[in-house]
Homo-oligomer: A and B are copies of this chain.
């Protein structure tokens, strides 16, 4: 499969529509499932892996087509022999996990053209299915994912215990096998240094907070993923409900922080936003980390009405497209760090100035 087309535009779920999308970048629900009669992958041999991959490839592509995408809307990419750059590209788009990219043996990913739905085959569990949507749309994600899950279940028998629920490789997923998360943009709370306090209360309410790329990664660019911890002994609706009750409170903290910033230090906020925009439009070499920080400030600026010549969709898209694998796909070659930083600066100038403005 050719991933070129992925490199020049982001998935629809990042377009910046959807409820509360000034703060909620995206909502995501995923299910972990395993196939009855096969060992968990940690104990599966090469041949069992291969069998699983073959069975599940058919099952998930068929289910995806049935669940609404139609045959033409479904892509399957086997990953065993995939080029490293393609694997990184899929990670950067949140279509696969780093674990699946770095894994070995027969494995793959099926996803819809809109990239709203993706199913990993032979990651930690036999199946990891996710639905992503722009803005705060957890219920809608769940409705879509539930339908897909049913469609897969018509094709394969899941490992299921009447006592425990769905069986998973890691005990933390047993039960519903469900992880529900929202990606939040919280520059107001970061800039006013209220993040530790807010995170403490999120954690006290039994939710987890992580960085941009999930478990073990540092939060960066003022983006944070909030997700459920419990999967056992609670229903899917309860899990969604627990996020659904906490997230609005975080949103109101963030909004109050933004209002406070505008009231008390409008000029400093405006300056920080405008300088960040200037840096993105003028840098000749720029790292991923700097880009993330500046884009975060610009995103806040657009949402506060301080920047009015830039649609939020373009800003959201740049978070994805300015990442290393995307830049290399766009430029059509493997680039070392220094060349990537120069290519990133050029790409940002083009996208934000509408032309390759030399110093100008």
Which positions in A face B, CB cutoff 8 Å? 267-268, 270-271, 273-275, 277-279, 281-286, 301, 306-310, 338, 342, 345, 358-360
Contacts and interface: CB of A to CB of B under 8 A. Distances in A.
Contact of A274 (B267, B282, B306): B282
Nearest to A280: B278
Contacts of A275: 278-279, 282-284
Contacts of A283: 271, 274-275, 278
Given A279-B275, A282-B278, A284-B274, A307 B267 contact: no
B359 A307 contact: yes
A238 to B, nearest CB: 44
6 nearest A-B pairs in the assembled complex, by CB-CB distance: A278-B282, A271-B284, A278-B278, A307-B359, A270-B284, A274-B282
A282 B306 CA distance: 12
A268 to B, nearest CB: 7
Count of chain copies? 2
Given A274-B284, A278-B279, 11 more contacts: A274-B282, A275-B278, A275-B284, A277-B282, A278-B278, A278-B282, A279-B279, A301-B359, A307-B358, A308-B359, A309-B359
B277 A359 contact: yes
A332 B242 CA distance: 58
A338 to B, nearest CB: 8
Nearest to A282: B278
A155 to B, nearest CB: 52
Contacts of A273: 359
B342 A267 contact: yes
Contacts of A277: 282, 359
Contacts of A310: 359
A285 B308 contact: no
A308 B308 CA distance: 28
A267 B282 contact: no
Nearest to A360: B309
Contacts of A281: 278, 282
Nearest to A281: B278
A267 B285 contact: yes
A274 B273 CA distance: 18
15 contacts: A267-B285, A268-B285, A271-B285, A271-B345, A273-B359, A274-B283, A274-B359, A275-B282, A275-B283, A277-B282, A278-B278, A278-B281, A278-B283, A306-B359, A307-B360
A342 to B, nearest CB: 6
A245 to B, nearest CB: 36
Contacts of A278: 275, 278-279, 281-283
